[in-house]
Structure 1
Amino acid sequence: MEKEPIIALDFPSWEKTEQFLAPFGNEQLYVKVGMELYLQNGPLIIKRLKEMNHRVFLDLKLHDIPNTVKQAMKGLAALGVDMINVHAAGGVEMMIAAREGLDEGARGGKRPVLLAVTQLTSTSEEGMKADQLITVPLHESVLHYAKKAKESGCDGVVCSVLEASDIRDACGTDFYKVTPGIRLKDGNADDQQRIADPEKAREIGSTAIVVGRPITKAADPVAAYHHIKTLWGGNVR
């Protein structure tokens, strides 16, 4: 996978998004569109980003009954996004259905990369046990979800950097480990719990990193992006 950070476009409108992207000029980026931007603006957001030649990770974390997810994925695949995800907690049947929907809706025979979210990087060990009543260690829960995602035909998972190497060992080097929760060493953790800096992510074995506020809230977002891109450089495993 390419060695540029995926920028989380956590904005409420296309106007704010366009304002953020303008200083990058014609540079082709990999961007993440999450629920805030997509649900308030709809598919037009994807159309505009693709017209600008950006690659798009549509981060909607679908979690519903298998048929609903399948039909939703069939429609979303037709938008031409490059990567999309579901919650692994939805189960094997739901993840299989998501893959089937993407296969059926893909344009030109090329379907989006399908990821399964394991545990959110904002989730702590204590929070998982208290809120989800999962008694195994968080690391074990993430690894279990990753194995189930691979079994279901997903291309990879969303996980924290802290689990990336074990998932690589369990699921293979070609299995995506997309890791949000990326912060600079001297940066603020914000609402994240399981974080790492770009260099650590590269060393441990992330396939791709997702970076939001360290870029979008920086005084100079373009400079921050290229700084993080440099830190993230090297061989992707």
Structure 2
Amino acid sequence: MSANLPVIIALDFPDASTTLNFVRQFPHPENLFCKVGMELYYREGPAIVRDLKDLGVQIFLDLKLHDIPNTVGSAARIIGQLGVTLTTVHALGGSKMMAAAKQGILDGAAAAGVAPAKVLAITQLTSTSPAALRDEQQIATPLPESVTHLAQLAAQSGLDGVVSSAAEVAAMKPQLSAGFKFITPGIRLKQNQTDDQVRVMTPDAARRAGSSGIVVGRPITQAADPVAAYEEIKRLWEEPVHE
């Protein structure tokens, strides 16, 4: 997996038929990197992963595991056998849970003879505002500091990167190793609505901020021409960063 990932398309569709028809619009699906989230996976199960892999798609399986370490380790072992490229757990589950997830992925991949997925920690969701962090989670630490702390905890637990808003990457990156990944959702073009995202950024701004990869859903999947929208976002993402 390269230091800078391609644009990851969030396949937030209700079923396999809609998902596969969407992917088949692209002339080279084997060049795509797509995210399968909870809604689609809970509806279709591992079959949707196999179907997408048959088209050559790289997969980010975003199930955000969060439970006691033993349960998460067992679930991760199953995910590890699927041959996906990326997967996620919640950093708020703690260091033992994250370490159990990483070991489960390694064990599952070894059993299936596939490359192990990179495990990313969810820090704070991009729908979480500073007010919600303070008033609902009762965390007094400022949001950027909370995200950085969780990223450091993930790295210490053996994880490969984090999912966070691009707005927090610049503060985190100097405090983590060179190979640590920063995958950032909440990506919008200037003309797009923010929907339920609070902390958003354009593709080119996310690249300049230091993101390793971006996840884009509705600006592509709900566009009048999804292929053209993808190519425009990819163009912005791949623009050279000038020091």
Tell me whether 1:47 sits opposite 2:58 in the alignment: no
Q: Is 1:200 aligned to residue 205 of structure 2?
A: yes
Structure 1 gap ranges (5+)? none
Could you list the per-position Cα deviations for residues 134-193 of structure 1 after superposition, in whole angstroms to 9, with x for gaps in the alignment? 011001100000000000000000010011112211112311000000000121000000
Of 26-35 and 37-46, deviating more is 26-35
Aligned to 1:191: 196
- Cα pair distance change 1:143/1:7, threshold 3 Å: same
Distance 1:14 1:50 in 2: 13
- TM-score under structure 1 length normalisation: 0.97
For 1:110 and 1:164, locate their aligned partners in 2 and report how far apart those are by CA, in whole Å: 27
Mark the runs of 5 or more structure 2 residues left unpaired by the alignment.
none
Q: Which residue of 2 aligns with 1:11?
A: 13
1:23 maps to what in 2? 25
Moved more, 47-56 or 14-23: 14-23
How far, CA to CA, are the matches of 2:54 and 2:21 in structure 1?
16
Whole-angstrom distance in 1 between the partners of 2:96 and 2:239: 37
Aligned length: 236
CA distance in 2, matches of 1:163, 1:23: 34
Q: Distance in 2 between matches of 1:116 and 1:69?
A: 13
Q: In structure 1, which of residues 109, 122, 146 is the aligned counterpart of residue 151 of structure 2?
A: 146
- Alignment of 1:86 onto 2:89: yes
TM-score where L is the length of structure 2: 0.94
Amino acid across the alignment from 1:98: A
1:209 aligned onto 2:214: yes
Shift of 1:3: 4.3
**AA partner of residue 196 (structure 2):** D
RMSD: 1.2
Q: 1:178 maps to what in 2?
A: 183
> Residue in 2 aligned with 1:233?
238
Runs of 4+ in 1 over 3 A off after TM superposition: none
Cα distance between partner residues in 2 of 1:179 and 1:81: 18
State, as a whole percentage, how many aligned pairs show the same letter: 50
User: Are 1:112 and 2:112 counterparts?
Assistant: no
- Say which SS state the counterpart of residue 183 (structure 1) adopts: coil
- Distance (whole Å) between structure 2 residues aligned to residue 22 and residue 156 of structure 1: 30
Give 1:121 deviation, angstroms: 0.3
| Contact 2:9–2:215 under 8 Å retained in 1 | yes
Deviation larger for 201-210 or 169-178: 169-178
Contact preservation (8 Å) 2:186, 2:201: yes
**1:133 matches 2:138:** yes
Partner of 2:165: 160
Whole-angstrom distance in 1 between the partners of 2:67 and 2:20: 32
Deviations 1:180-213 (A, max 9, x none): 0000012100000000000100101000000000
Deviates more, 1:175-184 or 1:11-20: 11-20
Aligned to 2:100: 97
